[in-house]
Amino acid sequence: MRKLDAKTLTERLIGVGVLVFAVLAPQIVNGYWLDTIFTQTLLLGIGAASLIFLSAYGGMISLAQTGLMGVAGYALGNMVSQRGLLGESKGLALGWDPTLSLVLAIVITTAAGLLFGAVASRSFGIYFLMLTLTFGVIANLFVGSVTKLGGFSPIAGIDRRTPGFIGDVLNDRQRLYYIALIAAVVAYVAIRYVARTPFGISLQGIRDEPVRMSSLGYTVPLHRMLAFTFAAFLAGVAGVLAAWWDGQISPSSLGLNATIELLVIAVIGGLVRIEGAWLGAFAFIVIENEVTNRIPSEGLPVVGGSFNTVVGLIFLAIVIVSPDGLMGIWERLWGLGRLREPQRPAPTASPAGSES
Amino acid sequence: MRRFGGRKLRLLVSLGVVAVAIAAMTQASSAAPFQALQVKYAIFTDCKGAFAFGYELDIGGANAALSEFAGARPKNKKKPSAGLIGGTAGGAKLTSVGYACGDDTPATILKEIRRLMVQKDADVMIGPLSGDEAVATANWAKNNPQKTVIIGTAGSQDPTMQIAPKNLLRYHGDGAQWNAGIGEIVYKKWGWRNAAIIMDDYSFGWTSAAGIIADFCAIGGKITKRVFPPLNTTDYSAYVRQLPAPDKVDGYFWVVGGTGTDPAFKAFEQAYGRLKAKQHSGNLFLWFLTGVAVAPRLKDAYIGGFGTGPGLKTAQAAAYEKSMKKWYPDLPATDAFVYNYYNAAHALVEGLKASKGRVGAALQAALPRTLRTGYSVSNGGLVKLDSRRQAIADQYPMQITNIGGKPGVKIAGYVPAVDQTFGGTFSPSKPAPGRNFPPCVKKKLPWQGKIQVVTNGKITNQFVK
């Protein structure tokens, strides 16, 4: 049996503690915190994890993940919502079976990821970033401009028709929290598993030395495309959860602001470790929530939008203190106790510079 | 040593962030219990995006009504967002939980709803400001029947037609209602029979254009072409080229707003030559053109209203304008952002008086179904709500004119008691306005032939011919 080092053991203990807390959270925090902070943390964390997976294991920083989440939300919204008594007036409102709609939404998102990945997989560094940003912008403009799919107004009623095994997420928010928790745990385990498969190992090889891997006979674009497809699947799951959580979806859900927010979450958490996705999401949501509440909107010299500046300054502070985000702080904290020992270099994704 | 100090600092900052998060959680978990006879309200407006200019206007309108009817006092008459002191209605203390900072997108307004209506537990929302925000809010309201929404100045049709939750009310017309009468006026005054329409491709653009189309077609006009530039277009040349040439139609209706109005007209001039005022009409967006280069060339053009009556000389209008001047002397009382929020807050005070300070279903039932508003004339000077809690309100088509050497607008007509259905053109069972809805159909509208001429701000007994 492999002996665990102290750091790994500590991390696992913390992980178990966080999981126990997450399971008991409905008994500990009030409804607002459970629904608005924790559920949102879990679902945005899955979206951010899809971004961090590409960055940490594939060396690709993608700005298409929010767009892919939106594709899932729009696909689900158009298929599952229905006109008539419920009053939805936007989108196709096909009124299809919720289970079929759920499966198709994730399949469509994964297929979109495959398509995007096929186009972007030969690009590296800043070019990859720009291409994926373009995908995100295209997705945003497409759903806004194709008015039959909803146009600029939101498609509503997505949370009123859910599969039987999901249950009523509209009135039972605790149920939605646990569904998001299960999805987050499964996503985390799946990413860890994929990273350890031969595919994951070769992907990390491609991240570090794409030319050498290519000369060894690995098909670099194919690996990158498949990684992008897997990340799109995760984004699809996050998108479906976000649509249930909000109950509606509009182009602004996948706009540039939302894209930047997901990137900020990933950077705050740290682009080097998957755990950073949920840590970053929690920190971002709490900071945003607390700053908007603690700055009084009455009597300020500038109008209520000033909270963006404060959130930005806090983000800057975190990044300056620890370029690897909150997970980087953890690494440093651990190193602090062993100052006299030679420091282990922090893991880096080495995405842009070494590849281009 | 120095390096160790830097580490310590970082450690302290990190621990500080964690401590703030834990403190916030603890505090939120022990939220204050509900206090009897206190009504918490939130004013929903925009401080970002295309309508950010409405922030002080909206808050000012609402605060003025709370000062006038609920005994509150502005903290700063120059700056409405400074807030109010005091205020009671129906024995309940009025407490503002804050102002929403929207950006005219549904995603942001939903965030603000969670912050102010859920976390801060406001009982009543006054707002929101824009069309898609109102659609998102109405969808949310449907799932939260204990909360009450009184729309601020949003013009989309859906919130009170297709969605129509019982806890949402609107005391002003929607975007289509604001345009009642404009089609008949250009048909009769300029002799238009065939026209093209260019409209922003989103819910307010469609709703506003729907009012023009329904009104113009009802009297016998034909819409020969509909063009849909996406919102935030900057180069309109491709869309203007889709319009028929000036010798192929009698006129054009423009429903292109925000920063797009001026470039759209410029693109038209580049394509077809100098604008002729008698060939152009449009919706309220053209009110805002009065400061730009093409405006003088549109002098005498008839355009749609905004639910207010700038320059209307009635006792009620004077009383309302005096009230605004008393509380916020610098705010333009005739601005629809001010006026509509004023009426929404006034309705809230009247509702609370009737419900004796109770909120939820009691307040929703007690909110007035008729309300005396500044620019109402018909129905004894009262705005009346229909069965879906949507205002039946008087409308005032406008004409671009010269005021003090500068372009401005004056009232061109008085259209009494305009309802949301346009004589059955719109209904809950029909689609919301869209690119191709409503179709162009000749029919009898309740106000057809009853548009009264307004001269020097006074409504005459003459009808528009």
Q: Is residue B2 part of a domain?
A: no
- Asked whether residue B262 falls in the same domain as residue B331, the answer is no
Given CB atoms, is A246 within the 8 Å cutoff of chain B?
yes
Listing DSSP states for B276-296 in one string gives -GGGEEE-GGGGGGGGSTTGG
Domains (range + CATH), chain A: 21-280 (1.10.3470)
Sign of the dihedral defined by the CA atoms of residues B257, B260, B262, B267, in that order: negative
What integer pLDDT is reported at residue A152 of this predicted model?
A: 81
Between CA B446 and CA B214 the distance in angstroms is: 12
- Asked whether residue B233 falls in the same domain as residue B279, the answer is yes
Average pLDDT, chain B: 90
Q: Side chain identity at B78, as an amino acid letter?
A: K
Q: Is residue B171 part of a domain?
A: yes
| B194 within 8 A of B246, measured Cβ to Cβ | no
The residue-averaged pLDDT of A24-45 equals 95
Token pair, residue A50, equals 């899809």
Residues of B within 8 A of A30 (CB-CB) are 28-29, 31
Between CA A251 and CA A139 the distance in angstroms is: 9
- Asked whether residue B132 falls in the same domain as residue B273, the answer is no
- Asked whether residue B168 falls in the same domain as residue B256, the answer is no
- Asked whether residue B157 falls in the same domain as residue B48, the answer is yes
B397 upstream amide cis, omega within 30 of 0: no
**If you count them, how many residues does chain B have?**
465
Is the pLDDT assigned to residue B386 strictly greater than 70? yes
- Asked whether residue B303 falls in the same domain as residue B414, the answer is yes
Specify the range with the lowest mean pLDDT, choosing from A80-84, B139-143, B203-207. A80-84
- Asked whether residue B278 falls in the same domain as residue B418, the answer is yes
3-class SS at A142?
helix
| B419 within 8 A of B446, measured Cβ to Cβ | yes
Query: With pLDDT > 90 as the criterion, what percentage of chain B qualifies?
Result: 77
3-class SS at B102?
strand
> To the nearest whole angstrom, how far is the Cα of A321 from the nearest Cα of chain B?
6
Q: Which among A29, A246, A318 has CB closest to B25?
A: A29
Token pair, residue B148, equals 């009450």
Q: Is residue B15 part of a domain?
A: no
The kind and range of the H/E element at A313 are helix A307-321
Specify the range with the lowest mean pLDDT, choosing from B89-93, B403-407, B421-425. B403-407
What integer pLDDT is reported at residue A21 of this predicted model?
A: 97
**Cβ contact, residue pair B21, A282, below 8 Å:** yes
Best CA proximity match to A318, nearest among A279, A276, A275, A267: A267
Query: With pLDDT > 90 as the criterion, what percentage of chain A qualifies?
Result: 67
Residues of A within 8 A of B136 (CB-CB) are 153-154, 156, 248, 250
Specify the range with the lowest mean pLDDT, choosing from A104-113, B164-173, B252-261. B252-261
The residue-averaged pLDDT of B307-333 equals 96
**Cβ contact, residue pair A248, B136, below 8 Å:** yes
Specify the range with the lowest mean pLDDT, choosing from A181-190, A309-318, B449-458. A309-318
Chains A, B: CB contacts within 8 A come to 169
**If you count them, how many residues does chain A have?**
356
N-to-C CA span, chain B = 91
Place of tokens 């401009």: A145
Given CB atoms, is A32 within the 8 Å cutoff of chain B?
yes
- Asked whether residue B403 falls in the same domain as residue B455, the answer is yes
The residue-averaged pLDDT of B249-265 equals 92
Name A197's Cβ contacts closer than 8 Å, sequence gap at least 6.
none
What integer pLDDT is reported at residue B31 of this predicted model?
A: 43
What integer pLDDT is reported at residue A85 of this predicted model?
A: 52
Question: Which of the listed ranges A181-195, A247-261, B430-444 does the model predict with the highest average pLDDT?
Answer: A181-195
Band (pLDDT 50/70/90 cuts) for residue B431 is confident
What integer pLDDT is reported at residue A3 of this predicted model?
A: 66
Q: Side chain identity at A131, as an amino acid letter?
A: L
> To the nearest whole angstrom, how far is the Cα of A149 from the nearest Cα of chain B?
12
- Asked whether residue B366 falls in the same domain as residue B275, the answer is no
| B251 within 8 A of B225, measured Cβ to Cβ | no
Q: Is residue B366 part of a domain?
A: yes
Q: Provide long-range contacts, Cβ within 8 A and 24+ apart, for B333-338.
A: B333/B374, B334/B308, B334/B309, B334/B310, B335/B57, B335/B308, B336/B153, B336/B172, B336/B284, B336/B306, B336/B307, B336/B308, B337/B54, B337/B57, B337/B58, B337/B61, B337/B129, B337/B152, B337/B153, B338/B57, B338/B58, B338/B60, B338/B61, B338/B64
Best CA proximity match to A159, nearest among A171, A177, A175: A171
Q: pLDDT for B102-131, tens place per residue? A: 888 898 999 999 999 999 999 999 999 988
3-class SS at B408?
strand
CB neighbours of residue B253 within 10 Å: 28
CATH number of the CATH domain containing B361: 3.40.50.2300
Token pair, residue B426, equals 């719109």
Is the pLDDT assigned to residue A123 strictly greater than 70? yes
**Cβ contact, residue pair A286, B24, below 8 Å:** yes
- Domain edge (last residue) among B330, B360, B392: B392
Q: Is residue B23 part of a domain?
A: no
- Residues 317-336, chain A, touching B (beta carbon < 8 A): 317-318, 321-322, 326, 329, 332-333, 336
The residue-averaged pLDDT of B443-461 equals 95
Q: pLDDT for B45-89, tens place per residue? A: 998 877 888 999 999 999 999 999 999 999 999 999 999 999 999
What integer pLDDT is reported at residue B6 of this predicted model?
A: 53
| B240 within 8 A of B260, measured Cβ to Cβ | no
- Residues 74-113, chain B, touching A (beta carbon < 8 A): 75-76, 79, 81-83, 96, 98-101, 105-108, 110
The residue ranking higher by pLDDT, B230 or B286, is B286
Residues of B within 8 A of A157 (CB-CB) are 139
Token pair, residue A239, equals 């998108």
What integer pLDDT is reported at residue A337 of this predicted model?
A: 61
- Domain edge (last residue) among B348, B367, B392: B392
Residue B164, domain extent: 38-175+313-392
What integer pLDDT is reported at residue B165 of this predicted model?
A: 95
- Asked whether residue B325 falls in the same domain as residue B374, the answer is yes
Residue A101: φ, ψ to 5°: -60, -40
Q: Which among B25, B115, B132 has CB closest to A153?
A: B132
**Cβ contact, residue pair A332, B10, below 8 Å:** yes
Q: Which among A141, A247, A322 has CB closest to B10?
A: A322
- Asked whether residue B273 falls in the same domain as residue B203, the answer is yes
User: Half-sphere exposure of residue B276, counting CA atoms within 13 Å on the CB side?
Assistant: 12
Q: pLDDT for B193-220, tens place per residue? A: 999 999 998 888 999 999 999 999 999 9
Is the pLDDT assigned to residue A1 strictly greater than 70? no
Between CA A284 and CA B111 the distance in angstroms is: 14
Q: Is residue B21 part of a domain?
A: no
Q: Which among A154, A159, A305 has CB closest to B106?
A: A154
Band (pLDDT 50/70/90 cuts) for residue B14 is low
- CA B24 from centre of chain: 37
Band (pLDDT 50/70/90 cuts) for residue B34 is very low
Compute CA distances B93 → A84, B36, B44, B66, B86, whole Å: 40, 9, 20, 12, 8
> To the nearest whole angstrom, how far is the Cα of A305 from the nearest Cα of chain B?
6
What integer pLDDT is reported at residue A356 of this predicted model?
A: 33
The residue ranking higher by pLDDT, A344 or A308, is A308
**Cβ contact, residue pair A282, B25, below 8 Å:** no
What integer pLDDT is reported at residue A351 of this predicted model?
A: 45
| B427 within 8 A of B421, measured Cβ to Cβ | yes
Between CA B339 and CA B357 the distance in angstroms is: 24
Average pLDDT, chain A: 88
Between CA A293 and CA A161 the distance in angstroms is: 33
Chain B: residue whose CA lies nearest to A169: B143
What integer pLDDT is reported at residue A302 of this predicted model?
A: 45
- Asked whether residue B186 falls in the same domain as residue B302, the answer is yes
> To the nearest whole angstrom, how far is the Cα of B167 from the nearest Cα of chain A?
15
Is the pLDDT assigned to residue A18 strictly greater than 70? yes
Q: Is residue B454 part of a domain?
A: yes
Q: Is residue B18 part of a domain?
A: no
Pick left, alpha or beta for residue B417 (phi over 0 → left; psi -120 to 50 → alpha; otherwise beta): left
> To the nearest whole angstrom, how far is the Cα of B247 from the nearest Cα of chain A?
31
What integer pLDDT is reported at residue A26 of this predicted model?
A: 96
The residue-averaged pLDDT of B145-163 equals 94
Chain B: residue whose CA lies nearest to A307: B101
- Residues 269-308, chain B, touching A (beta carbon < 8 A): none
Q: How many domains does chain B have?
A: 2
User: Half-sphere exposure of residue B369, counting CA atoms within 13 Å on the CB side?
Assistant: 6
Chain B: residue whose CA lies nearest to A253: B107
- Domain edge (last residue) among B392, B424, B440: B392
Is the pLDDT assigned to residue B184 strictly greater than 60? yes
Is the pLDDT assigned to residue A297 strictly greater than 60? no
- Residues 27-66, chain B, touching A (beta carbon < 8 A): 28-29, 31, 47-48, 52, 55
